[in-house]
Amino acid sequence: MIKWQTGSYHPIIHLPDEYEVRDFTQGIYTPSKYEYDIGKYDELRPGMYKSDLFNNNRYLHIGIDIGAPIGTPCMAFEDGEISHFGYNADEGDYGYVIITNHKIGRKKIWTLYGHLDSKSVKDKKIGQKISKGEVICWIGDKHENGGWEPHLHFQISLLEPDTHDMPGVVEPNLREYALLNYPDPRLILGAIY
């Protein structure tokens, strides 16, 4: 059992006082009226993931999306290290991504920062130490982030990834497994919605 310290972690993005919490359950994307917005965890998004990567079967979102301007800095929520990083080039994928590793009590967890700017992976090393509050990456533009509007996909994993990837959306019939192994990011982010 992990003893989360929700409320004591550093914000991964400094959110303004006003932002929009989105509803993608209809599978429709329209630009937000706010500069910052949130896409929810454990949300069914049928019709939203159109590239071959998803085969129309994967549409349960198991991270949190934070829409923000290109170049917005993203910080480490806690001390840890770089576990994996790289580029997932498929249309609709993460583009540039960093995965960090942290100890929460006696348990190891991994967090994924996806849809990043290419400079985010420059000079990174596996095992590189990171400090709570340190800027570790930046939100990327469509040409480098998998083709998405600028946002950060942030996800927790209790499973050690094999590479710089983890499923950000899964088939709805895998919901129980996914929520057990990829817990709600609000355990780290706090009550952002």
Task: Report if residue 184 sits inside a domain.
Answer: yes
Number of domain units in the chain = 1
Domain CATH number, residue 84? 2.70.70.10
Average pLDDT, integer, range 10-39: 95
3-state secondary structure of 167: coil
Task: Report if residue 13 sits inside a domain.
Answer: no
Residue-level pLDDT at 28:
84
Asked if residue 134 has pLDDT above 70, the reply is yes
What is the band of 55 on the pLDDT scale with cuts at 50, 70, 90?
A: confident
Looking at residue 22, what DSSP letter applies?
A: P
* The model's pTM: 0.96
Domain that holds residue 82: 20-189
Query: Closest Cα to residue 62, out of 176, 192, 193, 189?
Result: 176
Residue-level pLDDT at 52:
79
Count of C-beta atoms within a 10 Å radius of residue 82: 19
Q: What is the pLDDT of residues 74-131, one digit of tens each?
A: 999 999 999 999 999 998 899 999 999 999 999 999 999 999 999 999 999 999 999 9
